[in-house]
């Protein structure tokens, strides 16, 4: 049996959902951990009487927390037999409630149930002249509970910061069934330890998030996008520094991609490069309260950047359609890579000055054994998406990549998982980014909060911890 997922996405399986309930015979229980299968996708309303041996079954409870509570405390195959209670599926869950509980238009604080889909929340807020402080490609399918549980990054971290700063409160069901209600709508609260932080990014291994309170910024009145070509990575960094100084508070994205990325989106998706061919490309987005002011600032930056040689060519968009076309160049790289061959994906944080050295280094190391080696990502956040393709999966190529990529990252005190989390597949590489004392404390927290190991087992913490 498998239940209570705090979802997962992508290669590590991390982004997603909230509270999914599935049931099968006790005998099959353990196999589920290796093959998460999510069965139920529509609304249904069944009683508590699921029988062992059934293949799948779901409940819709009056609230997610009441469902979790029952599952964690009453279900004999789960809690009492101390079997694995949580598993991470790759699609949406069943028990999730999806309602907005409240929104305050003065403070901009939204309280909602954890099963709300990010895009639905974005639309809800847009209608009220606000925006969610996070945005990501998976917004049409991911749930806010999963976003918080995995500390999702995405496209707005540069402007609005991480969820550790914007999430104001959580309701969480603990492993023993206790409902921990820290769902306050306060920007400031220094009464004891900030417990909600424990659940942000812990991938459902310490508790199941059932509701979220989050601070939402006012919707920017004007958005501009510039797409630029840079002659080298040093110039990309210079452009970033200039952007921060000249665009300051209106800078909302600074993304970069290398020439290989552009080649791939051209070859596989037939997207045209909108500027002169360059070794590097940068997408700058501004969001502000005056289109005229923001345009002036952006023009000033472009004049400076082109005059000083850090940018060799550029184009600016203010209308929705063209902005979307420019963003597509950056956002569809993943899709182009998947058409290029088998993809080895790494999501790395590095000191921004060293961000691209790993890509250059790997190209030299791998030579002809790799088909393509590309680097792109959220430069403003020091977050490199390093991807390597080969014609097919090759243990030799994997062996040349790992642990080399991790060792290289560790030598720079980087993170081997910037925004995707560790999940099941990367839990054993945690030591490249965290010292033994940290892993030991994490294990202590897990043992304290989930002594029977029923919450998302085999995830996040290393197998030897």
Site for a second copy in 221-240 (CB under 8 A): 221, 237, 240
Q: Given the rule CB under 8 A, which of 264-272, 349-357, 359-367, 392-400 is the region that contacts a second copy? A: 349-357
* Closest CA relative to residue 360, chosen from 258, 222, 288, 208: 258
Q: Which two tokens stand for residue 393?
A: 């999966």
Q: Given the rule CB under 8 A, which of 87-95, 270-278, 338-346, 422-430 is the region that contacts a second copy? A: 422-430
Distance CA 376, CA 255 (A): 8
Q: How far is the CB of 375 from a second copy (least distance, A)?
A: 16
311 touches 235 (CB < 8 A): yes
Closer to a second copy by Cβ: residue 59 or 256: 256
Distance CA 143, CA 113 (A): 9
Q: Given the rule CB under 8 A, which of 53-61, 102-110, 310-318, 324-332 is the region that contacts a second copy? A: 102-110
191 touches 100 (CB < 8 A): no
Q: How far is the CB of 442 from a second copy (least distance, A)?
A: 5
Q: Residues 277, 296, 303, 407: which binds a second copy (CB under 8 A)?
A: 296
Q: Given the rule CB under 8 A, which of 54-62, 290-298, 359-367, 387-395 is the region that contacts a second copy? A: 290-298
Cis previous bond, 400, omega within 30: no
**Residue 416 contacts a second copy per CB under 8 A:** yes
**Residue 184 contacts a second copy per CB under 8 A:** yes
For the packed helices 291-307 and 233-246, what is the interaxial angle rounded to 10 degrees?
140
Q: Residues 30, 41, 80, 187: which binds a second copy (CB under 8 A)?
A: 187
Q: Which helix (H) or strand (E) holds 223?
A: strand 222-230
Closer to a second copy by Cβ: residue 5 or 383: 383
Q: What is the radius of gyration, based on Cα positions, of the chain?
A: 23
**Residue 64 contacts a second copy per CB under 8 A:** no
Instruction: Lay out the site mask for a second copy across 378-397 (x = CB under 8 A, - = otherwise).
Output: x--xxx--------------
**Residue 192 contacts a second copy per CB under 8 A:** yes
* Cβ-based neighbours of 249, under 8 Å, separated by 6 or more: 288
Q: Residues 206, 223, 262, 302: which binds a second copy (CB under 8 A)?
A: 206
Closer to a second copy by Cβ: residue 341 or 462: 462
* Closest CA relative to residue 429, chosen from 332, 347, 365: 347
Q: How far is the CB of 89 from a second copy (least distance, A)?
A: 19
Q: Which two tokens stand for residue 256?
A: 């970069």
Closer to a second copy by Cβ: residue 275 or 461: 461
**Residue 54 contacts a second copy per CB under 8 A:** no
Q: Residues 434, 453, 455, 456: which binds a second copy (CB under 8 A)?
A: 434
Q: Residues 65, 349, 387, 456: which binds a second copy (CB under 8 A)?
A: 349
Q: Given the rule CB under 8 A, which of 35-43, 101-109, 274-282, 363-371 is the region that contacts a second copy? A: 101-109
Distances (CA, A) of 1 to 9, 40, 56, 459: 21, 13, 8, 17
CA 265 to chain centre: 22
22 touches 58 (CB < 8 A): yes
Distance CA 106, CA 110 (A): 11
Query: Positive or negative, the Cα torsion across 237, 243, 249, 254?
Result: negative
Q: Residues 55, 74, 189, 299: which binds a second copy (CB under 8 A)?
A: 189
**Residue 425 contacts a second copy per CB under 8 A:** no
DSSP 120: H
């Amino acid at each position: 049996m498998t239940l209570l997922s705090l979802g997962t996405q992508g290669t590590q399986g991390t982004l997603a959902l909230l509270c999914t309930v599935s049931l099968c015979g006790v005998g099959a229980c353990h196999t589920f951990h290796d093959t998460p299968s999510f069965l139920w996708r529509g609304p249904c309303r069944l009683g508590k009487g699921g029988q062992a041996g059934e293949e799948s079954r779901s409940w819709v409870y009056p609230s997610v927390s009441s469902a979790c509570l029952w599952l964690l405390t009453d279900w004999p195959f789960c809690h009492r037999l101390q079997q694995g209670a949580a598993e991470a599926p790759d699609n949406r869950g069943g028990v999730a409630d999806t309602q907005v509980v409240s929104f305050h238009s003065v403070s901009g604080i939204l309280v909602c149930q954890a099963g709300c889909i990010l895009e639905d929340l974005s639309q809800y807020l847009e209608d009220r002249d606000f925006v969610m402080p996070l945005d990501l490609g998976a917004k049409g399918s991911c749930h806010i509970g999963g976003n918080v549980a995995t500390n999702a990054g995405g496209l707005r971290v540069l402007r609005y910061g991480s969820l550790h700063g914007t999430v104001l409160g959580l309701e969480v069901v603990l492993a023993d069934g206790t409902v921990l209600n820290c769902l306050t709508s306060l920007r400031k609260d220094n009464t004891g330890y900030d417990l909600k932080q424990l659940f942000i990014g812990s991938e459902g291994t310490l508790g199941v998030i059932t509701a979220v309170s989050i601070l939402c910024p006012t919707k920017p009145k004007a958005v501009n996008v510039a797409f630029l070509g840079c002659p080298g990575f040093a110039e990309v960094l210079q452009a970033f520094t200039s952007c921060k100084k000249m665009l300051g508070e209106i800078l909302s994205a600074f993304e970069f991609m290398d020439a290989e990325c552009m080649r791939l989106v051209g070859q596989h998706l037939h997207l045209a490069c909108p500027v002169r061919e360059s070794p590097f490309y940068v997408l700058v987005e501004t969001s502000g309260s005056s289109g005229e002011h923001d345009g002036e600032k952006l023009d000033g930056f472009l004049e400076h950047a082109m005059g000083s040689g850090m940018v060799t060519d550029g184009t600016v968009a203010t209308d929705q359609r063209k902005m979307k076309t420019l963003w597509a160049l950056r956002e569809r790289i993943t899709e182009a890579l998947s058409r290029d061959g088998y993809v080895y994906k790494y999501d790395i944080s590095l000191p921004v000055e060293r961000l691209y050295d790993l890509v250059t280094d790997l190209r030299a190391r791998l030579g002809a054994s790799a088909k393509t080696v590309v680097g792109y990502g959220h430069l403003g956040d020091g977050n490199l998406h390093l991807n390597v393709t080969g014609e097919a999966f090759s243990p030799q190529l994997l062996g040349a990549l790992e642990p080399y990529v991790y060792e290289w990252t560790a030598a720079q005190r980087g993170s081997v998982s910037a925004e995707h989390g560790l999940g099941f597949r990367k839990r054993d590489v945690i030591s490249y980014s965290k010292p033994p004392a940290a892993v030991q404390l994490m294990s202590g927290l897990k043992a304290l909060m989930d002594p029977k190991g029923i919450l998302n087992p085999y995830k996040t913490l290393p197998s030897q911890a």
